[in-house]
């Protein structure tokens, strides 16, 4: 049972839909072709409040509840999957800071994060630590007044323009899950070196970076939670992040369905629109059914999160189902378009590539299945 979306929030979702389809859609094609960062539009997104969606109003945000938030990410993804993930990752970091920073840093940071120039990023993965973030080698050594971080982070979304990174680093070597801690790092600090990762298959407008940390000083109060809480904070942030990625997948799938519908009505073969062939109709019908099912899973997870109830399993189910569905749907969208769908003049070609990442980041489909089964087996 999902809670209703208020009139105000419906209005906001519709406004984002109009903005995204009117302004971002064409730009997204250019970002893809030129592999250019969608962050060139950040100031506009800040002005619209889209980087303060999950920040309290008293701190300058617009405090949108999780359900309308998910629908906003979907609307952004329909027009630009790259902008959707930029906003989703930033929102995930805002929430982690809200939940785990000490009072003084939380108050200071929330104001900043809602203001232009303060995009945030989530730096967990490393070259040898992907599905297993516990294998992180980046180290945090205690020093006078704080910590010094040394190591490499890889695959960081928002990693180039981003200013505030939450970084998972090793503070002990006992071999248990409390060996890692989470730090809030200012990427403008001495010792931070960042480089873009080029050549991505999809979401080419989203920034992905690698970051080397060479003894970077982080003040003591920038430790999130307690020492040893790093993995817990990372997994808690990812629970919420997965609702965002599931919504991104649904937005991609919806764009594909709309394109299948319009193209199949226009394209004539055997003297009739291809929409009259049952084979085409079934691809469209299956796709919309899967999207509606995915949306219900997203809405349930979003509602549970908002109510403060545990939602780990439900977020993984939403992400698993929606991302796999988006890939099936993008495959069908190319199929419905025939040869036209195989060239980049046609947007389904890009959506097919963009959909691919959704089963990989913020936990692969295999990891989502592991999380779902672990929760079920533990409950049993």
Ligand X SMILES: Cc1cc2nc3c(=O)[nH]c(=O)nc-3n(C[C@H](O)[C@H](O)[C@H](O)COP(=O)(O)OP(=O)(O)OC[C@H]3O[C@@H](n4cnc5c(N)ncnc54)[C@H](O)[C@@H]3O)c2cc1C
Task: Evaluate whether 301 touches 317 at the Cβ level (below 8 Å).
Answer: yes
Pairing relationship of beta strands 120-123 and 208-219 according to DSSP bridges: unpaired
| Active-site annotation holder among 221, 362, 366, 375 | 362
Q: Does 131 contact ligand X by CB under 6 A?
A: yes
Q: Using CB positions, name the residue nearest to ligand X.
A: 130
Q: Tokens at residue 87, please?
A: 């906003």
Q: Does 166 contact ligand X by CB under 6 A?
A: no
Q: Does 164 contact ligand X by CB under 6 A?
A: no
Of the pair 130, 146, the CB lying nearest ligand X is at: 130
Q: Choose which of 55, 123, 322, 346 interacts with ligand X (CB under 6 A).
A: 123
Q: Does 364 contact ligand X by CB under 6 A?
A: yes
CB atoms within 10 A of CB 308: 7
Which of these, 132, 206, 233, 135, lies nearest to 358 by C-alpha position?
206
Q: Choose which of 42, 50, 70, 89 interacts with ligand X (CB under 6 A).
A: 89
From 48-56, 60-68, 289-297, 365-373, span contacting ligand X (CB under 6 A)? 365-373
Q: Does 327 contact ligand X by CB under 6 A?
A: no
**To 5 degrees, how large is the angle CA 291–CA 297–CA 298?**
85
Measured between alpha carbons, how far is 174 from 176 in angstroms, rounded to an integer?
6
From 9-17, 76-84, 304-312, 353-361, span contacting ligand X (CB under 6 A)? 353-361
Quick one: three-class SS letters along 219-241? EHHHEECCCCCHHHHHHHHHHHH
Q: Choose which of 9, 17, 71, 200 interacts with ligand X (CB under 6 A).
A: 200
Q: Choose which of 366, 373, 374, 376 interacts with ligand X (CB under 6 A).
A: 366
Q: Does 357 contact ligand X by CB under 6 A?
A: yes
Q: Does 156 contact ligand X by CB under 6 A?
A: yes
Based on the residue annotation, tell me whether 362 is a catalytic residue of this protein.
yes
Which of these, 152, 157, 234, 136, lies nearest to 191 by C-alpha position?
152
Give the chain's end-to-end CA distance (angstroms, integer): 23
From 93-101, 151-159, 266-274, 294-302, span contacting ligand X (CB under 6 A)? 151-159
Half-sphere exposure of 101 (CA within 13 A, CB side): 22
Residues noted as catalytic: 362
User: Binding residues for ligand X, per CB under 6 A?
Assistant: 89, 122-125, 130-131, 155-157, 200, 208, 357, 360-364, 366-367, 370
């Amino acid at each position: 049972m999902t809670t209703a979306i208020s009139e105000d929030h419906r209005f906001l979702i519709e406004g984002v839909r109009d903005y995204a389809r009117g302004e971002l859609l064409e730009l997204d094609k250019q970002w893809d072709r030129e592999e250019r960062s969608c962050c060139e539009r950040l100031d506009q997104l800040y002005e619209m409040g889209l980087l303060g969606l999950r920040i309290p109003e008293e701190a300058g945000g617009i405090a949108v509840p999780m359900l309308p938030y998910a629908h906003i990410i979907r609307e952004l993804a329909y027009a630009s999957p790259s902008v959707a993930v930029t906003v989703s990752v930033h929102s995930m970091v805002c929430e982690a800071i809200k939940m785990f920073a000490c009072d003084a840093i939380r108050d200071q940071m929330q104001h900043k994060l809602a203001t232009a120039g303060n995009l945030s990023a989530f730096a967990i993965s490393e070259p040898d630590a992907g599905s297993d973030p516990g294998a992180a080698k980046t180290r945090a050594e205690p020093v006078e007044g704080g910590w010094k971080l040394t190591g490499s982070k890889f695959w960081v979304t928002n990693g180039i323009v981003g200013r505030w990174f939450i970084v998972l680093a090793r503070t002990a070597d006992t071999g248990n899950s409390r060996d890692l801690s989470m730090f809030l790092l200012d990427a403008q600090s001495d010792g931070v070196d960042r480089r873009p990762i080029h050549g991505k298959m999809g979401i080419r407008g989203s920034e992905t970076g690698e970051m080397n940390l060479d003894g970077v000083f982080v003040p003591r109060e920038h430790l999130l939670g307690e020492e040893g809480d790093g993995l817990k904070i990372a997994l808690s942030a990812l629970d919420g992040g997965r609702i965002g990625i599931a919504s991104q997948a649904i937005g991609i799938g919806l764009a594909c369905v709309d394109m299948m519908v319009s193209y199949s009505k226009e394209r004539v073969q055997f003297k009739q629109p291809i929409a009259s062939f049952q084979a085409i109709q079934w691809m469209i019908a299956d796709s919309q059914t899967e999207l509606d099912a995915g949306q219900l899973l997203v809405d349930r997870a979003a509602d549970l999160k908002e109510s403060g109830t545990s939602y780990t399993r439900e977020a993984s189910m939403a992400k698993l189902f929606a991302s796999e569905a988006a890939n099936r749907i993008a495959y069908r969208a190319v199929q419905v378009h025939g040869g036209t769908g195989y060239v980049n003049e046609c947007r389904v070609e890009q959506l097919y590539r963009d959909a691919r990442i959704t089963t990989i980041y913020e936990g692969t489909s295999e990891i989502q299945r592991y999380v779902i089964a672990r929760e079920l087996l533990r409950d049993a």
